[in-house]
């Protein structure tokens, strides 16, 4: 058999359910890889090895009890969907008994009293948590660097960022430290690190996955979704995140195959609109670099070779979007409970946006939310001319570690004196880096990032670059089917 970390998540799931592998073997193998790889990668903030091995032993006992009772275990009958599967949670998610740092030096370190909604869902499905992964402070940025732990690095070039805010989770999956991982996405936080690390990253539509990952989210931007090495692996994790089974559109209450099973189906011929338009381009003019355009061209080639039609899509975005999105996006950090004497420990970006959020009137936030609702209606109406919208996932290749903040970085993490630059320059760089992601959250639509291009010309060589496909509401299965048919 291949090394455990070389198995796809679906293959590992099957081996665990059949008894070919024990949960303790799987957990132990990945913990050894974390111990060896994390010092260079910075993917994990906290590793919960002792608890993971206890939970894995309990999973093995459940498997043994089912066997003794005569329950069929060869096909996994009687076992939860993710029986014994190792996962990791980004350090914005509460896991009972483990400190949730939120990537901030300004918060006191207290273990969570209970699992958050995301951890509860995956633990309930049988997953074994190995620890907490690196995030930017409060999940605010497109890079995973903070003042409490080493930055999360790109497995394909350690001098480069793994993206954010699910950057630690993406780095862990790409480096084979976990088979797959849940992320959360409020402005691109699954799709950005997926593109940077050569993964499949799915942002489900609003309301599909139970909420609970984020507080202070008045616009309903944040949703949890899978980071995986393939569409099938992402579909397996989505099956565990979504309660029940998906229904058939137009026939309420009817059961339908799960997302994993649906990836085996052939999608119908699609009309796909290709666009470089962005709601940020007037405020922060940007020019996509060559790698981004190469990825887009490769995405078009793959889609057309699969029989789909691509046409240029000219999308008009309201110029008021950047201010309204920023107002909604930073509202939560303004209301975060931080002791006044600890505010100096915040990063410059967090401190700046917290102060601005606190100075805004409730009426201004209300106006911003009202505008975003209208933006959602207008944008979805434009997108409806096509089955899917195609954009590059990122406008630039993965950035060097420290590039956004101007931080001089050695081998550890950055104390306050080493954070240079200013918040507005940092934010501008992020918006130019990932200009096609946040409007999808505002619209509440599903979207997927696929690693179609490598700057070295061959898969695994150079840096990965991705495309983004934005679907209509309820099109998660279609996006996964298409990804699978394209070879991901």
Rg (CA), the chain: 21
Enter the DSSP assignment of 342.
Answer: G
Residue from 189, 278, 437, 449 carrying the catalytic annotation = 189
List 165, 166, 438, 449, catalytic entry: 165
**In 10 A of CB 419, how many CB atoms?**
19
Which among 163, 449, 216, 228 is positioned nearest to 353, based on CA atoms?
Answer: 216
159 in active site: no
Separation of alpha carbons 118 and 133, rounded Å:
14
129 a catalytic residue: no
22, 62, 90, 275: the active-site residue: 90
- Helices and strands per DSSP (H, E), number in the chain: 16, 15
423 burial type by CB count under 10 A (0-12 exposed, 13-18 middle, 19+ buried):
middle
DSSP state of 400: B
Q: Answer positive or negative: Cα dihedral of 268, 271, 276, 279.
A: negative
Q: Kindly list the distances between the CA atom of residue 280 and the CA atoms of 276, 332, 352, 428, in Å, as whole numbers in the listed order.
A: 11, 22, 20, 10
Question: Are 275 and 300 a contacting pair, CB within 8 Å?
Answer: no
Look at the alpha carbons of 120, 331, 371, 426 in this order and tell me if their dihedral is positive or negative. Answer: negative
Active site residue 429: no
Q: How many whole angstroms separate alpha carbon 336 and alpha carbon 325?
A: 18
- Catalytic machinery residues: 90, 165, 189
């Amino acid at each position: 058999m291949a090394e455990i970390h070389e198995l796809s998540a679906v293959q590992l799931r099957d081996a665990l359910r059949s008894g070919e592998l024990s949960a303790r073997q799987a957990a132990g193998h990945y913990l050894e890889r974390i111990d060896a790889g994390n010092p260079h990668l910075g993917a994990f903030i906290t590793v919960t090895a002792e608890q993971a091995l206890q939970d894995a032993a309990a999973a093995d006992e459940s498997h043994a009890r089912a066997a003794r009772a005569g329950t069929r275990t060869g096909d996994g009958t009687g076992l939860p969907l993710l029986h014994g599967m190792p996962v990791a949670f980004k350090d914005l998610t509460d896991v009972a008994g483990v400190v949730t740092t939120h990537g901030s030096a300004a918060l006191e370190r207290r273990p969570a009293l209970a699992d958050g909604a995301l951890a509860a869902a995956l633990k309930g499905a049988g997953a074994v948590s190995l620890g907490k992964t690196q995030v930017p402070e409060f999940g605010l940025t497109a890079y995973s660097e903070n003042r409490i732990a080493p930055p999360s690095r790109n497995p394909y070039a350690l001098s480069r960022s793994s993206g954010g805010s699910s950057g630690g989770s993406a780095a862990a999956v790409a480096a084979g430290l976990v088979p797959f991982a849940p992320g959360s996405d409020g402005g691109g936080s699954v799709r950005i690190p997926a593109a940077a690390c050569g993964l499949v990253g799915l942002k489900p539509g609003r309301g599909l996955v139970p909420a609970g990952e984020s507080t202070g989210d008045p616009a309903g931007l944040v949703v949890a979704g899978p980071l995986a090495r393939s569409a099938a692996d992402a579909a397996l994790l989505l099956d565990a995140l979504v309660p029940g089974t998906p229904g058939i559109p137009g026939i309420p209450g009817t059961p339908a195959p799960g997302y994993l099973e649906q990836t085996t189906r052939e999608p119908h011929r699609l009309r796909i609109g290709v666009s470089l338009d962005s709601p940020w381009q007037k405020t922060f003019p940007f020019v996509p670099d060559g790698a981004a355009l190469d990825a887009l061209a490769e995405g078009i080639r793959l889609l057309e070779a699969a029989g789909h039609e691509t046409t240029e899509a000219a999308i008009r975005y309201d110029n008021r979007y950047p201010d309204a999105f920023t107002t909604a996006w930073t509202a939560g950090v303004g209301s975060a409970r931080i002791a006044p004497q600890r505010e100096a420990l915040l990063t410059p970006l967090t401190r700046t946006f917290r102060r601005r959020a606190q100075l805004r009137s409730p009426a201004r936030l209300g106006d911003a939310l009202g505008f975003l609702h209208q933006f959602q209606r207008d944008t979805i109406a434009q997108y409806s001319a096509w089955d899917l919208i195609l954009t590059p996932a990122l406008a630039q290749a993965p950035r060097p570690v420290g590039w956004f903040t101007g931080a001089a970085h050695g081998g550890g993490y950055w104390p306050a004196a080493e954070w240079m630059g200013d918040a507005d320059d940092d934010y501008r760089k992020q918006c130019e880096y990932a200009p096609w992601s946040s409007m999808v959250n505002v619209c509440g639509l599903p979207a997927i990032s696929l690693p179609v291009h490598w700057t070295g010309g061959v898969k695994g060589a150079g840096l990965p670059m991705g495309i983004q496909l934005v679907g209509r509401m309820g099109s998660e299965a279609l996006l996964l089917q298409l990804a699978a048919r394209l070879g991901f």
